[in-house]
């Protein structure tokens, strides 16, 4: 079982590293030496697409429906492989019109309608608030699981829990501080948030290493390699359904819907629009991102 002080210390060190990288990125930007003027960092920043869904939703869906989790990654892969020119067009429009948000982008198509822009903003806020709540819940649940390991204790929330005892409250404060320091403090709305993008790229690298490490451990630690996994799958009929793309009695509607939704998400989710379009330094970076981002999704 991990001790709470150890977990807190490691978490603070990691957060401190993210703050340091973001601060360094902003300092270099102030000196005219952009840290994010790299196609690799640009591609890694696009991996902000992988959030709580990757850690819990996608893994949980794989445990329940097997390869039925793939559409969530096929959508972005198809967009980058076949529809990269759409993203390129969006980048050029944003730079030409000094657009800073998805609301401005959509409203500019219709005469810069303030009403439409406000409506898009409201819809985005209504959709993002519960999504952020899920992120906070996932982090607090993970902390609870780590503190109770090796005993698996499902996280629960007491209705009488005080704010001071809620881990999510402190996480929200830290995230708010990070956003204020490296996001909203800039007076020029069109100025890039290079420190924030650099921190996102670093976090994407950490996520990739963590997932690969877990994959290697499961494949060669818990099992004897890929052959052993497939042999185990073949000898357990109840698990064979996990290798079926379309479960018996179901059509392709579910797969098609998820592919379309994930393809739209990688283009129009506010966070994706911010890092892939608004924060783009050089449109030529898109050429490497067109294959590096799908490769990232494949590995993770």
What's residue 177's pLDDT?
80
What's residue 237's pLDDT?
76
What's residue 160's pLDDT?
59
What's residue 292's pLDDT?
94
The residue ranges of the chain whose pLDDT is under 70 are 1-2, 150, 152-165, 182-191, 244-251
What are the DSSP calls for the chain, one per residue? ---HHHHHHHHHHHHHHHHHHHHHHHHHHHTT--SS-SHHHHHHHGGGG-SHIIIIIIHHHHHHHGGGGTHHHHHHHHHHHH-HHHHHHHHHHHHHHT--SHHHHHHHTTTS-HHHHHHHHHHHHHHHHHHHHHHHHHHHHHHHHHHHTTS-------TT--GGG-HHHHHHHHHHHHHIIIIIT-S-TTS--HHHHHHHHHHHHHHHHHHHHHHHIIIIIISSSHHHHHHHHHT-HHHHGGG-SS-TT--SHHHHHHHHHHHHHHHHSHHHHIIIIIT-S-TTHHHHHHHHHHHHHHH-
> Could you give the CA distance from residue 91 to residue 82 in angstroms, rounded to a whole number?
17
- Joined tokens for residue 96: 């030409």
What's residue 42's pLDDT?
93
């Amino acid at each position: 079982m991990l001790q709470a002080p150890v977990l807190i210390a490691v978490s603070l060190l990691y957060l401190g590293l993210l703050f340091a990288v973001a601060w360094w990125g902003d300092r270099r930007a102030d000196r005219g030496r952009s840290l994010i003027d790299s196609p690799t960092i640009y591609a890694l920043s696009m991996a902000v697409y992988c959030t709580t869904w990757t850690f819990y939703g996608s893994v949980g869906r794989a445990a329940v429906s097997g390869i039925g989790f793939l559409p969530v990654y096929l959508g972005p892969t198809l967009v980058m492989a076949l529809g990269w020119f759409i993203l390129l067009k969006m980048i050029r429009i944003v730079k030409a019109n000094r657009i800073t948000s998805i609301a401005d982008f959509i409203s500019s198509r219709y005469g810069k309608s303030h009403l439409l822009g406000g409506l898009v903003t409201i819809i985005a806020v209504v959709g993002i608030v519960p999504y952020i709540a899920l992120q906070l819940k996932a982090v607090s649940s993970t902390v609870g699981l780590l503190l109770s390991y090796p005993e698996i204790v499902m996280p629960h929330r007491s209705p009488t829990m005080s704010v001071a005892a809620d881990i999510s409250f402190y996480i929200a404060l830290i995230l708010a501080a990070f956003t204020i320091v490296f996001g909203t403090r800039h007076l020029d709305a069109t100025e890039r948030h290079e420190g924030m993008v650099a921190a996102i790229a670093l976090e994407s690298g950490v996520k990739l290493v963590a997932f690969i490490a877990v994959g290697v451990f499961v494949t060669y630690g818990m099992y004897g390699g890929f052959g052993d996994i497939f042999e185990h799958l073949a000898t357990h009929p109840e698990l064979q359904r996990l290798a079926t793309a379309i479960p018996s009695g179901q059509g392709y509607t579910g797969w098609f819907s998820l592919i379309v939704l994930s393809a739209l998400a990688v283009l129009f989710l506010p966070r994706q629009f911010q890092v892939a379009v608004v924060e783009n330094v050089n449109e030529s970076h898109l050429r490497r991102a067109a294959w590096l981002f799908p490769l990232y999704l494949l590995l993770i």
